């Protein structure tokens, strides 16, 4: 079997697995030392005004339940990013947004999920002290958030990042040096220290010089910049993932921004007929929930 056929089979399998995703409502990791007493912490707003694939009460329900367990309040954000609305926010989470006109089959070029005015408003809000958690998966989600990411110096590639075996599931660890050592992966104490993170098919992006990359991709990995979601062939443009990231943080003015190129890693889902666990509930992703908490603490400016 040649590589082209293997690639198509591999990607179709992954596509089918991820096409029917429901939140794992049973997943509930223990939070031994809560950041705040119950529902007394900072309010985290999760965007659901931009045709988001992940929202507070659906595919990001495990995300919302976890941070609530840590003492945070969680609310959905509806509508456009207007200045007066943003002024009331401290932490904003945007996961897999799409434009109003976006419909499958998704083809390039991908339309921005956000207007120029919205992007300018979010940029100003972060510069003045807001904390943004921007998550944009593989195509078309990467393309839909590319202009917003660019406002902060990040370059998104509207495609899929794959390893030499044509799989997009990666393990980032201290051992393989793909997981960087920094204040977020080290945490505030030994219980918050992270040694391994798993991601589940996303994009790779270029970071600005002052950003700290947390999840470092390898030069052996390839970014396929496809013109149609989940469609690949020998003519599909591709670049090396060398020096690219799948997760990074940046202090921007008085604010902070965390940017990640894969969304399932921050939730817990059941996928496909075989009810495969995808995300924080996966045995191989046992430390993912702690990374999420550490990132929220950093965005909350606890440290």
- Evaluate whether 72 touches 42 at the Cβ level (below 8 Å): yes
Average confidence (pLDDT) over 21-47: 94
pLDDT band at 191 (very low <50, low <70, confident <90, very high): very high
- Evaluate whether 47 touches 59 at the Cβ level (below 8 Å): no
- Evaluate whether 43 touches 75 at the Cβ level (below 8 Å): yes
Beta bridge partners of 95: 135
- In this structure, how many other beta carbons lie within 10 angstroms of the beta carbon of residue 90? 15
- First-to-last alpha carbon distance for the chain, in angstroms, is 52
Structure confidence at residue 233 (pLDDT): 86
pLDDT band at 127 (very low <50, low <70, confident <90, very high): very high
Q: For residue 6, is pLDDT > 50?
A: no
SS3 53: coil
Q: For residue 9, is pLDDT > 80?
A: no
Size (the chain), residues: 303
Structure confidence at residue 19 (pLDDT): 52
Q: For residue 139, is pLDDT > 60?
A: yes
Q: For residue 16, is pLDDT > 70?
A: no
Quote the tokens at residue 122. Answer: 């979010």
* CA–CA separation, 76 and 56 (whole Å): 6
SS3 59: coil
Average confidence (pLDDT) over 194-220: 97
* CA–CA separation, 209 and 230 (whole Å): 31
Helix H or strand E encompassing 61: helix 61-69
Structure confidence at residue 84 (pLDDT): 96
pLDDT band at 187 (very low <50, low <70, confident <90, very high): very high
Residue whose pair of structure tokens reads 């926010």 in the numeric block? 89
* CA–CA separation, 63 and 74 (whole Å): 10
- Strands 222-224 and 238-240, how do they pair? antiparallel
- Evaluate whether 190 touches 183 at the Cβ level (below 8 Å): no
């Amino acid at each position: 079997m040649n590589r082209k056929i293997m690639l198509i089979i591999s990607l179709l399998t992954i596509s089918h697995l991820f096409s029917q995703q429901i939140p794992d409502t049973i997943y509930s990791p223990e939070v031994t030392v809560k950041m705040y007493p119950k529902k007394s912490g900072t309010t985290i707003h999760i965007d659901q005004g931009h045709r988001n694939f992940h929202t507070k009460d659906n595919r990001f329900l495990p995300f919302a339940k976890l941070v609530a367990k840590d003492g945070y309040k969680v609310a959905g954000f509806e509508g456009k990013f207007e200045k007066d609305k943003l002024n009331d926010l401290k932490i904003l989470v945007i996961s897999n947004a799409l434009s109003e006109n976006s419909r499958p089959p998704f083809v390039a070029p991908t339309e921005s999920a956000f207007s120029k005015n919205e992007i300018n408003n979010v940029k100003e809000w972060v510069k003045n002290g807001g904390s943004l958690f921007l998550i944009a998966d593989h195509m078309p989600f990467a393309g839909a958030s590319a202009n917003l990411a660019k406002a902060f110096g990040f370059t998104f590639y509207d495609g899929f990042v794959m390893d030499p075996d044509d799989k997009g599931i990666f393990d980032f660890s201290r051992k393989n040096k793909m997981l960087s050592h920094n204040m977020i992966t080290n945490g505030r104490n030994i219980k918050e220290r992270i040694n391994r993170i798993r991601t589940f098919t996303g994009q790779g992006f270029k970071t600005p010089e002052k950003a700290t990359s947390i999840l470092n991709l390898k030069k052996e990995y390839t970014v396929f910049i496809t013109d149609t979601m989940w469609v690949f062939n020998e003519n599909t443009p591709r670049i090396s993932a060398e020096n690219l990231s799948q997760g990074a943080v940046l202090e921007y003015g008085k604010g902070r921004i965390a940017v990640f190129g894969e969304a399932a890693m921050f939730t817990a889902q059941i996928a496909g007929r075989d009810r495969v666990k995808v995300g924080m509930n996966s045995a191989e992703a046992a430390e993912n929930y702690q990374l999420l908490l550490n990132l929220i603490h950093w965005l909350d400016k606890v440290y």
